[in-house]
Amino acid sequence: MKKLLLTSALAFSTLSFAQINFSNTRFGITAGGNYSRVQNAHNPSGPRYAVQAGALALIPVGKGNQFYIQPEVLYYGAGETGKDKDVKGRDGYNAVYANNYLSVPLYFKGYFSEAESEFFGMVGPRFNFLLNQNVKNAPAARPFYDPDVTDPNNPEVSGKANNFNFAIGLGIGYSYKRQLELALKYDFGVSNTYPGLAKEPNGTSKSKSEQVLSVSLSYIFN
């Protein structure tokens, strides 16, 4: 079964590439907001709100006006926050675990019809390269959540984020005259964002994967 799936994927990729029309590529700009969390990482944890912005290309596939390859290059904010209270119910700390990336998604995009204004769907891999990691107000009980702090009792434990993250992206949106487009996307993190936290005392060895829900607005030039 695995060999069949791999062969099918390779055949589809080869066929799609053979039909790509680079000469009719259009370019655009895109920006939006991100809602992100990291599974099984910081305790307690909450969402981080950040932004994304960058450029895209819309590359036709086939002879029609319905299927495209859409690569993007983005500044992409992700990560999460943490909030806790002391024994008297007062705010103990308000932490921020910010991971900012150069993100390169590669979507296969299909409009629901060849109409000028139409809904569309997107799916494809996302490659995130860490630009910087900014941790603020890490809890005193877990100083190793800050990548610049080492726990002398557990030197192998680290809050440093991975330099590379891989995700699978899904999206749906609406295009007005194939020029102004609004999209809702969900990026399901596959790789381990904080491998050094797997050895955290009383923690969990489960993968700490980053999940991002975003809304973006794009303008594609003629």
Structurally, the chain folds into a number of domains equal to 1
Residue 90: partners with Cβ closer than 8 Å, 6 or more residues away: none
What's the pLDDT at 92?
64
Evaluate whether residue 105 is within a structural domain. Answer: yes
What's the pLDDT at 1?
46
**Contact assessment for residue 133 and residue 161, using Cβ atoms and an 8 Å cutoff:** yes
Evaluate whether residue 14 is within a structural domain. Answer: no
What's the pLDDT at 36?
97
Evaluate whether residue 123 is within a structural domain. Answer: yes
DSSP letters of the chain? -HHHHHHHHHHHHHHHHHTB-GGG-EEEEEEEEEEEEETT-SSS-B-EEEEEEEEEEEEEBSSSSSEEEEEEEEEEEEEEEEEEE-TTSSEEEEEEEEEEEEEEEEEEEEESSS-SSEEEEEEEEEEEEEEEEEEES--TT-GGGSTT---TT-TT---PPPSEEEEEEEEEEEEETTTEEEEEEEEEE-S-S-GGGGG-TT---S---EEEEEEEEEEE--
Evaluate whether residue 16 is within a structural domain. Answer: no
Residue pLDDT tens, the chain, 222 long: 444 444 444 444 544 555 787 888 999 999 999 999 999 888 888 999 999 999 999 999 988 889 999 999 999 999 999 887 654 555 667 899 999 999 999 999 999 999 999 999 999 999 999 999 999 998 888 888 999 888 777 888 888 999 999 999 999 999 999 999 999 999 999 999 999 888 787 777 788 899 999 999 999 998
What's the pLDDT at 12?
47
| CATH number of 37's domain | 2.40.160.20
pTM of the model: 0.85
Evaluate whether residue 214 is within a structural domain. Answer: yes
Closest CA to 74 of 134, 133, 128: 128
What's the pLDDT at 177?
95
Evaluate whether residue 191 is within a structural domain. Answer: yes
Which residue range is the domain that position 123 belongs to? Answer: 25-220
* Residue type, position 194, single letter: Y
Evaluate whether residue 130 is within a structural domain. Answer: yes
Evaluate whether residue 17 is within a structural domain. Answer: no
